[in-house]
Amino acid sequence: MYISKERLLQLEKLQEKIKIQFSDVNILNQAFIHPSLTNEKDCPHQDNNQRLEFLGDAVLELVISEYLYKNYNFLNEGQMTKIRALTVCEPSLAKAARQLGLGDYLILGKGEENTGGRQKSSILADTLEALIGAIYVDKNYGTAYDFIISILEMVILKSVEGEWDTDYKTALQEFLQKSDADRVLYRVTKETGPDHDKVFYVDVVWKNEVLGTGVGKSKKQAEQQAAKAALEKIKGQ
């Protein structure tokens, strides 16, 4: 597809924003060509962004999986699966796409343009996946990895904390208070690593007995891991 000078300037601004300079700007442009345009113009499907979206979806899942595996060794398979799903879901991707202003770069068919396609969450999420696919094709996996983590790292962190917050601490409190109202205490026993990448070690204590120990990237995570260990110990007795 022909790229006008105006469009080239627009894409140059996008490259500055995402801090990635493409070798082939045509690939970047294709990431923003919505199927509604090619359908209206009766163009081949290779001209729109769906194939890049397909590839980007796979790269995205691999990157999030690798990041969780390397950085959260206290998560089990089921927890990693749940957190990955929360991270790559449509609302999360659409929010990241809005923060990058990706809707401004879309090329839509008239029908989709007239019905507010630039702000539709489904279209924005798909476009972000197509952009990831384009970065992978034009650059490499490492560049795609860095880009994905730069825009979704906070989502991952909040998803991890949400996973713990909805589970073990509350369950432990409710379980113990069925028999005794003594307070459950969480004590940080050790901190390791630099300030920007600390690891916390926490004991959960009840009636002066250590019921479990947890490790996490934040105190919240470590407390939830300790509560999980305590529940497993109590229920295993």
Among the listed residues 53, 57, 126, 163, the single catalytic one is: 57
Angle between the N-to-C axes of helices 90-100 and 121-138, in degrees from 0 to 180, rounded to the nearest 10:
70
Residue 57 catalytic?
yes
Residue 129 catalytic?
yes
| Both tokens assigned to 77 | 């398979």
Looking from the CA of 95 toward its CB, the CA atoms found within 13 Å total 11
Among the listed residues 129, 163, 203, 223, the single catalytic one is: 129
**CB burial readout 126-165, b (16+ within 10 A) else e:** bbbbbbbbbbbbbbeeeebbebbeebbeebbbebbbebbe
| Both tokens assigned to 211 | 């019921």
Q: Between the CA of residue 100 and those of 7, 17, 64, 128, 138, what are the distances in Å?
A: 17, 8, 19, 9, 20
Active site (catalytic) residues? 57, 129
